[in-house]
Each structure stands twice: as structure tokens, then as C-alpha cells.
Structure 1
Amino acid sequence: MNNLTQFLAAETAEPLTDAQLADGFVAPLADLGLIAVTGADAASFLHNQLTNDVEHLGLNEVRLAGYCTPKGRLQATFLMWRSPESIFLQLPREIQPPLQKRLSMFVLRSKAKLEDATPEVALGIGGVQGEAALRDVFGALPAAPNTHIDSEHGTVVRVADAAGAPRYQWLTSSSTADAAWPTLAALAQGGPDAWIRSSILAGVPQITARTQEQFVPQMVNLELLGGVNFKKGCYPGQEIVARSQYLGKLKRRTARAIIDGQAHAGDEVFSLDDPGQPCGMVVNAAPNATGGTDALVEMKLAALGEAVRLGSAEGPAVRFQPLPYELDALDV
């Protein structure tokens, strides 16, 4: 589509191939929202609520973080960064209002205020040609994953690479994005699922409405991605998260998989060796170009070497794939 408005309004798009993700693509991030936390106590307030260190978050740094129930179950995962005035928490828009309200309940006497800061336009841009197109707009880009820059053109956040290529989020105004669209329109154009799939290839989970309160952080590999700081002070669920880390061997992790059928977050999977009960749950899913689904699947580690099916023992096959990082030295 040569028109940015049409691109952002499109409800569906054909799944992109791995080659397109690596070469260059653009996708709307309309399903992601942004919370800005401002005030003198913003960092200390969030530091006492989230799984990661907020007080020492650098101005150009980007981190993952989780927000847990008192029982250590994730209510949300955030992409987190800061400006001189605010700390930003990115999460799915479907769970932003209740999470923002819940966090606000615990501000109490802290000098901190939570506001909706969702930008007019948010685009996911990746691949070699995507990087080049974005550089035409910005000039300089974040040099490494988990960093960001701000300019008059908006904010660019570099996240984990996928398909062997860089990925960026560009948060900006409608007018700025519209002016840059002729350059970006030459890239492969995907829907929101294209960005979700690229995150799956990167092994980065996102808690959504269907998976809230299902996992402790380690079950979705959050600490392997730098999203949990075990040396910081207390936060809701901290004792259980720490106990899961230090007492005994972790028995559940999240693996990457290709499913020979349609799958969605929250769907259960079953091992043929023990078909009477689920052995795991889909964390994130996105259609691929071959008619199946790419997914992150939280699993019993013992079942990773077994034949696994979606939904029941008679369901589509779940075929495990390598992650781009070590999973307790286990090759999946």
C-alpha cells in the first residue's frame, strides 16, 4: 500500500516469509500501548513494583520487566525505557487500562503519575533494508539491541534481532510518519502478526490477556532475557520468583515451535506420552507463510523430547525449533 493511512487501517495482511523479515519489512504496532510514569518518585515507585532494576535504568537503555501478582504470576511484561522526564512502559493495549489503573492504586504518597502515552503512530521495522530506510529518516540509529534514541522525528527503540537482522520500533506523529512513508512503502508490508512473529523468532515473550497470571517469570525465560534482577529489593511476588530461581532445578521453560495448524495464545499442548493432561501452553503465536503457526510454548522440560500436539493428542503437531539463546544448556 502506498498510503500510510490505508496501511495502518488494514485489518489483515499476508504472513511474511523469513527472507522478507531478514531483508526488510514494516508492520503497524497498533496493538501496543504505552504508559508514561512521571514525577520525582517515578523510578523508585516502579523499582518497588517490577521485576527489574528501574532506579539504575540508563537514559539510552531499554530493558524488559515483569509485573507479578503476590503469588509471583505475571500480569504483564513490559518493554521499558526512559527520557529525562518520564519512564515508559510498553505493553499490549488490550491490558493497558486495567494494568495502568492497578499500578496507580499503589502510588499512594509517592510523587508519581501514570498517563497514557500511546503515540499517534508506532511502526515495527526490521531487516537490512528496513534499517537502511529508517536511517534515511533519522540519520543515526541505536547502535545495539536494547538501546533507544530520541529526536525531532520521534523515538526509535532497537529491540532483539530476529532472522539474523536488526529490528526497530519507531514511535512518532502521524505527520512525520506520513512524510517518511514513501521510503518505507518499498519494504515488505506486514500486519501486526508480522511483528509478533519476529518477536517469536527472537524468543521474546509478551504476556497478553489470555495468558495473564499463568506463568512465573522464569517459565517464559524472562530472566534469561535480562528482565529479572535478583539483587534488587522487594516487589510483588519477589519471594516466589527468587525461590523458583534458587531452590531446585527449573522444570518448565518456554521453547520456540512451529505448529502444523492454527494456534493462539492460551491454547494448551499435550504430550503423546501423557495425553490425559496438558504439558504446556502457547504464550504467543503468529501465522507463518506456510499455513502453520510460529509460537512460543511454555512447557514441561521433560516433554520437550516427546511428540507434542496442539489441543489434544489428536491435534496438529508441535515441532520445536532452536532459540537464539541458551535454554539451561538444553538444545531445543
Structure 2
Amino acid sequence: MTDPRPRTVLALTGTDRVAFLQGLVTNDVARADGGIVYAALLTPQGKFVADFFVTGQPDRLLIDVATSHAASLLQRLTLYRLRADVQIVATDLTVSRGTGPAPDGALPDPRDPAMGWRHIGPTDLSDDTDWDALRTAHLVPETGIDLTPDTYILEAGFARLHGVDFRKGCFVGQEIVARMKHKTTLRKGLVRVKLDGAAQTGEAILSGEREAGTLHTVAGAHGIAYLRFDRGTDLRTTGGAALSVDARDLTAD
């Protein structure tokens, strides 16, 4: 099955590849040796640039990233390279994913066991999983829909999704992320919502007459919204659909 949101695989080679990426991204790249980690690149102001999976192989690192963000990620990584012994190229490898029996070489999705497996290879081995329904049920955000240039990753659940390591050392935007982790209480974030009525991605959400957030993913009668936690009742979209929120989501990770 062709993935409706295609992925691109970047390859990093060179003797400095691990140290180079380790100093930039939110997770511990060393743990990708023979495995897979979920991570993001942020702006110095702590805002989202791209999320991706890093897989370590004996002579290279592979980055599995949304095709929509691949060119900009490649450009940013190239700018950071300076004199490091790192070569970064886009490959023609294919990303497959599924929730059924895993093919040889597949690795478990590190965000949530329910998200199945991921595989990088020459051909597409994906199954027919309804990914929007599955990730909505488990509050897993999607690049370009729930994760935007305005996103702070802790508000998007990256701690719960194993996408940030607070012990690994420096990364771009770390100061902002650490401050949000240790010195503030999150007042906004992604939540699961149930919809009563037709609604569309991008609609504003009101609590009574007050602005409360924005609807992002829509998957049938369910969705993911960015919401103020103190305005989690009496919700409707500007298009008139009523919303209800699982109370367990109205809190910080």
C-alpha cells in the first residue's frame, strides 16, 4: 500500500556523523546504533523544524523523515556541518510501516508499541493500517498537521513519545525545552477529541465564546486538537461541531 504521506531517507556518513547529529537533535543518537530513535530538530528558539527516526548502521546513519520536510532538513543539516567529517545525501530507499507481522530487518516504532514497525529497504512492504485512526487513538502527532513551525515539542507529547532525552547533553533549542520541563507547568497541548458533527482540519475551537485552540487531525468522529487545558469544556468548532475531550489529556505529560 502506498503511504499517503511519503517519507524520504537521508544518509549520513563520515567519521563525525554520530557526534555531529548528537549535538543538534533532541534525542540520544548513540542509542540508534543497531536500533532506532525518534527525535526532532528545533530552532534556537525551541520551535519545531522536523521530526524523524534515526537508524544506526555500521557505516552510516539513516534519517527517515516526511518528504515534505526532507529538503529543508537536508539544507539545515548541511549548514550546521561546517568542518565536520560528515556527508549528507538523500537516498532512493523506501520507508515501509505496518502493524501486522514484521518483515526481516524491521524495527519497532519507538514512539508507542501500538504504532507497529518501520522498515527501510528497496521496496514498499507497508500494510493497509489506517494510520490516522491509529495515531489519533494513541495521541501520536503527524508532521505538518499536528506538528507545525509554531509547535513546542513538550506540548506535542515528545516526552511521552520518547522523542527527547534530557540527559544527553546539548542540542539546538535545549535551553527553551529544559525551561519548559523544569520551570513551567504546561497550560496548552495536544489532546484527543471526539467530534459530534462535521469538522475540518484547521478550524478554531471555542469554549463558550472564548478561543480555546485549533483542531488538527480529523479521523472520522475523532481527532487531535491543540487546546488550552483550562478551557476543556463546552467546546465547539467555529463550524458548529461539538467536541468532548478525554479528561486524562487535560494535563501536562
TM-score by length of 2: 0.85
Out of 92, 98, 106, the position equivalent to 1:125 is 98
**Aligned AA for 1:224?**
R
Q: Secondary structure at the match of 1:106?
A: helix
Output the CA distance in 1 between the equivalents of 2:7 and 2:133.
15
Q: Which residue of 2 aligns with 1:158?
A: 108
Q: How does 1:242-261 map to 2 (within 5 A)?
A: 242-259=178-195, 260-261=197-198
Q: How does 1:1-332 map to 2 (within 5 A)?
A: 7-8=1-2, 28=3, 31-54=6-29, 56-120=30-94, 122-126=95-99, 130-131=100-101, 134=102, 138=104, 150=105, 156-159=106-109, 160-162=112-114, 167-174=116-123, 177=125, 189=128, 194-208=130-144, 211-259=147-195, 260-264=197-201, 267-275=202-210, 277=211, 279-283=212-216, 285-288=217-220, 292=221, 294-304=222-232, 306-310=233-237, 312=238, 314-321=239-246, 328=252
**Aligned AA for 2:97?**
G
Output the CA distance in 2 between the equivalents of 1:73 and 1:89.
20
Q: Deviations over 1:93-118 (max 9, x none)?
A: 11111121111111010111211135
- Change in CA separation of 1:257 and 1:67 when aligned onto 2, cut-off 3 Å: same
Deviation of residue 268 (structure 1)? Answer: 4.3
- 8 Å Cα contact 2:157-2:190 kept in structure 1: yes
The answer for unaligned runs of 5 or more in structure 1 is: 1-6, 9-27, 139-149, 151-155, 178-183
**Aligned AA for 1:91?**
V
Larger radius of gyration: 1
**Aligned AA for 1:99?**
L
Output the CA distance in 2 between the equivalents of 1:254 and 1:210.
8
Question: Which moves more between the two structures, 92-101 or 208-217?
Answer: 208-217
**Aligned AA for 1:205?**
P
- 8 Å Cα contact 2:11-2:63 kept in structure 1: yes
Q: Deviations over 1:234-281 (max 9, x none)?
A: 2221111111111121111211223342432xx143232343x3x223
Deviation of residue 172 (structure 1)? Answer: 2.8
Output the CA distance in 1 between the equivalents of 2:160 and 2:131.
21
- 8 Å Cα contact 1:69-1:213 kept in structure 2: no
Deviation of residue 125 (structure 1)? Answer: 1.7
- Change in CA separation of 1:90 and 1:326 when aligned onto 2, cut-off 3 Å: farther
- 8 Å Cα contact 1:72-1:240 kept in structure 2: yes
Output the aligned Cα RMSD.
2.8
**Aligned AA for 1:280?**
G
- 8 Å Cα contact 2:215-2:224 kept in structure 1: yes
Please identify which structure carries the higher helix content: 1
- Change in CA separation of 1:268 and 1:241 when aligned onto 2, cut-off 3 Å: farther
Aligned-pair identity (%):
19
- 8 Å Cα contact 2:50-2:143 kept in structure 1: yes
Output the CA distance in 2 between the equivalents of 1:118 and 1:300.
41
Q: Deviations over 1:187-221 (max 9, x none)?
A: 7x45xxx2233222232223317843211111101
TM-score by length of 1: 0.67
- 8 Å Cα contact 1:309-1:315 kept in structure 2: yes
- 8 Å Cα contact 1:45-1:112 kept in structure 2: yes
- The number of aligned residues is 250
Output the CA distance in 2 between the equivalents of 1:40 and 1:298.
41
Q: Which residue of 2 aligns with 1:11?
A: none
Q: Secondary structure at the match of 1:46?
A: helix
